[in-house]
Structure 1
Amino acid sequence: MAAALGVLAVLAALLVPGLLRVEVETGVNEFVPAGDPVARATSEMAAQFGGDPVVVLIESAKPRELLLKENLPALLQLEGELAALPHVKAVYGPGTVLNQIAGQAQDLLAELGGYRDGLRAKAEAQARKRRASPEEVAAAGVRATQAFDERYAALLAKGMPGGLPTLHNQAFVDRVIFNDEGDPRPQWDFLVPRPDAVALLVRPDASLPQSDTEDLVAAVDAAVRDSDLKASSTTVTGIPTVVAALGEQVRHEVSLLGGLAVVAVGAWFLLTSWTRRRLRLLPLGASLLGTAVTLSVAGWAGRPLALTAVAFLPVLLGIGSDFMTYLHRNAGPRTVLAAALASAAGFGALAVAPVPAVADLGVSLAVGLLVTVLVSLGIHRWGPAEPEHPAAPAPPDASRPASGGLARSTRISILLVPVLAAVGGWAVFPSLSLQSDLTSLASGLPEYDEARGVERVLGASGEVALVVRGDDVLDAESFAWMSRTRRDVIAEHGDELSAVLSPGDVLSFLGGEPEASQVDAALRLLPPYLASSVVSPDRRTAVMTYGVDLDDVERLAVLRDYLDDVAATAPASVDVEVAGLPMVAVSAQEAMDDERLLGAVLGIVAAGLALLALLPERRVALVAMLSAAVASGLVALGIAVTGVALTPMTAGLGSLTAAVACEFTVLLALAQRRGDRMLARAVDLAAAASATGYAVLAVSDLGLIRGFGVLLAVTVAVALGASRLLVWALLPAATPRKRAGVVHEETPKVLEKV
């Protein structure tokens, strides 16, 4: 007893700190193909100009109310507080834009005034040097400034009809932001989408980890709540906000769904009379210990879990408990180990998935299964389990054929029906619709619904960009191309792409083809705050940003191809790439489309190879592979009939099915060969427990996880049916080789002495 307590204390000392170190990473990068060129371009763009923004939408009861001179100080103060937050690359808002324009205009006035004073002082000094009279000195000063006044007084009167450039001058504010009809000027749509609404864009540093993203969103939300703005409503949203909400939801659901899975799976073992009452929860205990070891190792290694961590615990509890059940029913360590390795190989095949989160789940489940089966073997060997004596099978009646009295040809004929249906499922599998946009990740979260609401105001929920790189992206030829491209893109796809910001927008006053000297002068006069939003300080990178809707990946793919064609028309002096998270989603979907069949087949092949290497009867391994293939095809056919879309987590259908179908086939084949009804019932119990563990995921608020859980539960039922049918039709039943009272194959030696 003391030794057992000592072992438990050591385990707790090792496991608990590791479990406390486990972190969850739900960033969109987890659903981005590794090495994708669009993802690389997006990351480089974010490093220069900031990542996808946290959007603060502020609405007022009356038009223009937020931009009244009485309210501008509070707006400007909020923008300043947001800009000072940690991990903020830049903040863009109408208050700072107005303040920067006013300041630059004042600087221009001061510069012009200083130049005028210099002309006058120089002329007067020359007159004094000639010993002119005071009247002649004054006249010389007037003559020197006369040409200046004639040229620049008219220019200033035309350029600043709103009066002095100051935030205290309401006419100046209105003239800058609004047109004569009272609507926001097109170049400010991204900051003032409506007369009664303004938007603040808080662009974070590139590639923020999950914890920093959540901290930033919380800080933005707090700053907005504590501000003195007189607004009717404020909404903090954007992709970082959805990512932060996903992280919080995952942490909440990991414990919630894990607890429900423990109760649901444990109930099957506890309430089913499959062994002595005091031993009924051994499978659950072994699975829990294996899961804890796996998570603790991840924590000690500093390896964060992806969004799919929500599914990890219920899935591993469901399938991991199977192996202790089989060992307790005397299936034999070799058979159980072979089944476990086949399941692990099936899940492990997901490692080839182009989406990192799915690959992470597959590898984690494979490792977790191996750890769990080792724990189960250890408990079976040294733990409190009391192995059940195998029930002696009744010798089969030699006058009756095996498998229910049906001839082999009849059984194979019955088998043709589901096999042909499965072939149909495999035929339609490559054409099943696939949903890989943000909707499939965040559907069900209130933050996502808020983002959709804000989208209706701003006209877009995501950003795509043309990133221009060269020695000087503002040379005459490149600037002319960017200005022309902006007009052409909006003319061609203005209903799907809304112009946000580009060099042509911030320098629109120069016209479409300015001279190099004009561009240089304009950049000197333009507030750096605005210039840096579209052009890097060294003028080697520029960005043309457009707003899009994130939901329809197929439509985004068409836009991506169009923008690729546009990029190909750029001058030879610059390179142009398409960037932005919506375009990364297109890459992810195309990668999954290209590899979905490979992933499905690879899972089945990997599981079959594991069985061929470990099982003495290769026929059982082949039947297990066939069972996985049939079950996968039937599930695919069901998906096609119901019209359900695949997601990044369900696209690896073959791997998910192989993980359970091969296990069921191996154990049912052993039960049939022995004539062991108790072992066959243990397979049914394991399937029920596994399906229940998976079905728990349907409680999740995340649409992606709900769909994954429902599909897995259905897959278990279909896999069990397919395995039973194929074992019944293709494998021999018990033979009278071993009579009642004689020990079965693989029966532990301890029982031979009983």
Structure 2
Amino acid sequence: MSRPLASLMAFATRRPVLVITVSMLLAAAGIALALVRLEPETSSDTLVGRGTAEFKASEEYAERFGGDAVYVLVRQPVTQTALTSDIQRLIGLEGCLSGRRPPEAELIGGPSGPCGQIEQLKPAQVVYGPGTFINTSVTQIQDQYGALQQQAAQQGAAASLQARAEAKKRGASAKEQEEAGAAAQQAVEGQFTSQLITLGVRYGLTGVPRLNDPEFVAKLVLEGGGAVAGTPKARLAYIFPAPDASLIQVRLRSDLTTAERKRAVELIRAAVAMPDWELPNGGGDYVVTGAPAVVADLTDSISRGIGVLLIGALLVMALVLPLVFRARVRLAPLGVAVIATGITFGLLALVGTSLTIAAIAVLPVLIGLAVDYAIQLQSRIQEEQGAGRSLGQAVEAVAREGAPTVLTAATATAAGFLVLLLSPVPMVRGFGLLIVAGIALA
């Protein structure tokens, strides 16, 4: 390895402008490519291998029931949320978040508003919350009541016809036949009414349930019909987790990309902030949380963090090198480190790999190692020049005697990081591979 290295160092000595120009162009291209193509990745497959049983089970679950949920926390008493007209606002908000508007319904905010954009993206596989639960309960009970009423009417009509026919067989007059039919129909209606009364007594209903009936809604969602200080029923904890909080769950589609999940969270936050869903009775507010929201924020942090880390590492090195490195061109090692880092992350973008948290951690490590190797070589060259050798002779001597030692140290360091390829965590394997590539370039 010393001969190719000596040839490379000799060529750099003979053509310094060419080598520096090409290196800077490659680094600039790598940095530009990384900025344009590298996308932060925080999905679960950076932590668990795709071939594992756990990952496959998670994927199957997400495909059937939806991915991680975005939670919209409604911060106000449940009694204000469920028993007032605020419930209508929640029904509208949940419909907006679902992206599945009935054709006849108005599109709040227009096509360019949050609801319109959610309708285009359709990020949610399912949405459920207080509005959906109460509205569905009322609708189902009303539908059931209508079906029973229709069934009773049909049975009454059939009983009336049968009674008339039997009266006619007995030779009854037309009036008597009419009275027999009416009596039979009334008997069936009486049975229907008796059934309704029994059901009403059992469930505490005084009429057909309505969405704007606080008495019915209180019996539906509160312990003891509201007698226990507005405490929600325990079995409804998934939508009423506390007496002063309600929860809307938006389960996102499992096939969304990282960018689409981030956009979905942005649209959900924008929709929640619309004045159309303000809660005038309880005066509460909304908080968007959940794993996708946290991950979206983390993705932004990763994007900002790589710039902060790079600038911070460069500034620290720029301040430290003049203090501790006694050389004519004291910042030259830092230039070498920037070039190596730029090319490394450019290659990372070129092969289509995503930017993980571990990949960001490579930055300061790679800069430190590159500066270390450059300082060792530059110091040896200056020592040789101090002994009276020309630049070419000094480079040749260092390439023959000093560079193999640095190469050995770099190889040993890379071998240590290669052990990380045995890790079952994909993100850790990626860290090891990236740092080894960076060491080779440095």
TM-score, with structure 2 as normaliser: 0.76
Match of 2:181 in 1: 137
Deviations 1:336-393 (A, max 9, x none): 2222122112112112122222221111111111122xxxxxxxxxxxxxxxxxxxxx
1:30 and 2:46 correspond: yes
1:238 and 2:290 correspond: yes
Question: Conserved in 1, the CA contact under 8 Å of 2:128 and 2:249?
Answer: yes
Shift of 1:264: 1.0
* Root mean square deviation, CA, Å: 2.5
Deviations 1:142-173 (A, max 9, x none): 23444444345412442352532221111111
Question: Conserved in 1, the CA contact under 8 Å of 2:313 and 2:364?
Answer: yes
The aligned length equals 369
Matches within 5 A, 1:355-434: 355-372=425-442
Match of 1:590 in 2: none
Match of 1:71 in 2: 86
Shift of 1:110: 0.8
Deviations 1:691-710 (A, max 9, x none): xxxxxxxxxxxxxxxxxxxx
How many angstroms apart in 2 are the aligned matches of 1:354 and 1:6? 41
1:176 to 204, 220, 227: 220
* Residues 14, 312 of structure 1: alpha-carbon distance in 2 compared, 3 angstrom cutoff: closer
Shift of 1:202: 1.6
Question: Conserved in 2, the CA contact under 8 Å of 1:46 and 1:206?
Answer: yes
* Residues 63, 25 of structure 1: alpha-carbon distance in 2 compared, 3 angstrom cutoff: closer
Match of 1:348 in 2: 418
* Residues 76, 154 of structure 1: alpha-carbon distance in 2 compared, 3 angstrom cutoff: same
Deviations 1:311-332 (A, max 9, x none): 1211111112222222222353
AA aligned opposite 2:91: L
How many angstroms apart in 1 are the aligned matches of 2:317 and 2:300? 26
AA aligned opposite 2:96: E
Deviations 1:525-568 (A, max 9, x none): xxxxxxxxxxxxxxxxxxxxxxxxxxxxxxxxxxxxxxxxxxxx
Match of 1:187 in 2: 235
Question: Conserved in 2, the CA contact under 8 Å of 1:25 and 1:209?
Answer: no
More helix by share: 2
AA aligned opposite 2:222: F
1:89 and 2:125 correspond: yes
Match of 1:221 in 2: 269
2:409 to 339, 353, 357: 339
Match of 1:426 in 2: none
1:44 and 2:60 correspond: yes
Question: Conserved in 2, the CA contact under 8 Å of 1:69 and 1:167?
Answer: no
* Residues 23, 89 of structure 1: alpha-carbon distance in 2 compared, 3 angstrom cutoff: same
Question: Conserved in 1, the CA contact under 8 Å of 2:30 and 2:347?
Answer: no
How many angstroms apart in 1 are the aligned matches of 2:421 and 2:255? 23
Which ranges of structure 2 fall in alignment gaps of 5 or more residues?
1-15, 100-117, 169-173, 381-397
Matches within 5 A, 1:456-471: none
Shift of 1:300: 2.0
Match of 2:395 in 1: none
Larger CA deviation: 28-37 vs 82-91: 28-37
Question: Conserved in 2, the CA contact under 8 Å of 1:34 and 1:355?
Answer: no
How many angstroms apart in 2 are the aligned matches of 1:59 and 1:370? 55
Question: Conserved in 2, the CA contact under 8 Å of 1:287 and 1:316?
Answer: yes
Shift of 1:5: 8.7
What SS does the corresponding residue of 2:288 show, helix, strand or coil?
Answer: strand
Question: Conserved in 1, the CA contact under 8 Å of 2:222 and 2:233?
Answer: yes
1:292 and 2:336 correspond: no
1:57 to 61, 73, 83: 73
* Residues 315, 4 of structure 1: alpha-carbon distance in 2 compared, 3 angstrom cutoff: closer
Q: Which has the higher contact order (CA 8 A, sep 6+)?
A: 2
Deviations 1:172-191 (A, max 9, x none): 11110001223111111121
What SS does the corresponding residue of 1:200 show, helix, strand or coil?
Answer: strand
AA aligned opposite 2:428: V
What SS does the corresponding residue of 1:72 show, helix, strand or coil?
Answer: helix
AA aligned opposite 2:90: L
Deviations 1:403-462 (A, max 9, x none): xxxxxxxxxxxxxxxxxxxxxxxxxxxxxxxxxxxxxxxxxxxxxxxxxxxxxxxxxxxx
Matches within 5 A, 1:446-595: none
AA aligned opposite 2:184: A
What SS does the corresponding residue of 2:184 show, helix, strand or coil?
Answer: helix
1:259 to 311, 319, 322: 311
1:322 to 372, 385, 388: 372
1:125 and 2:172 correspond: no
Which ranges of structure 1 fall in alignment gaps of 5 or more residues?
373-754
How many angstroms apart in 1 are the aligned matches of 2:243 and 2:144? 29
Match of 1:206 in 2: 254
Question: Conserved in 2, the CA contact under 8 Å of 1:250 and 1:309?
Answer: no
Shift of 1:195: 2.3
What SS does the corresponding residue of 2:439 show, helix, strand or coil?
Answer: helix
What SS does the corresponding residue of 2:357 show, helix, strand or coil?
Answer: coil
AA aligned opposite 1:57: L
* Rg larger in structure: 2
Question: Conserved in 2, the CA contact under 8 Å of 1:162 and 1:171?
Answer: no
Question: Conserved in 2, the CA contact under 8 Å of 1:291 and 1:316?
Answer: yes
Question: Conserved in 2, the CA contact under 8 Å of 1:91 and 1:201?
Answer: yes
Match of 2:208 in 1: 164
